[in-house]
Amino acid sequence: MIEEDFYATIKFKSGEEVYAKVAASEEDTRTMLLVSNPITIAEVKTRAGVAGYKVEPWLKTTREDLFIINLDDVLTISESSDLEMISIYQRYIQDSDRAKSGRPKITREMGYISTVRDAKDILEKLYKSS
């Protein structure tokens, strides 16, 4: 039986700490965790204080995105409702999916980002003024 997914920080007995979407599963006499897209997060500090976060995949040599963890290997697990952490995680997953599909991430350096309506209005104004 698989429980509903939730975001959580998992601290392993080895000392590793990951953030992921987690679901618990009862298998016979043991409990397993289904961990989706686990990431490690490190604070990046400057002299002025915390500047941001560095997000990396937990396992860097695999393309797998779902891992089965035995609950016996877990020291503690903490469910997360921190919207900032959830947002960082979701943005990382979206960027990772985009990179896997070969589509580049759209940035301001590539040009202007606007809606079709805004672009149409700007182009019409340019046309009428010429």
Smallest Cα–Cα separation from 87: which of 48, 46, 41, 50?
41
More confident residue, 2 or 92: 92
> Using an 8 Å Cβ cutoff, are 68 and 33 in contact?
yes
> Using an 8 Å Cβ cutoff, are 31 and 22 in contact?
no
What is the CATH code for 6-129?
A: 2.30.30.100
| Confidence at 2, pLDDT banded by 50, 70, 90 | low
* Tens digit of each residue's pLDDT (9 = 90 or more) over 119-129: 888 888 888 88
Tell me the torsion sign for CA atoms 123, 124, 125, 127: positive
Domain boundaries, the chain: 6-129
* Tens digit of each residue's pLDDT (9 = 90 or more) over 9-65: 999 999 999 999 999 888 788 889 999 999 998 888 888 776 788 899 999 888 888
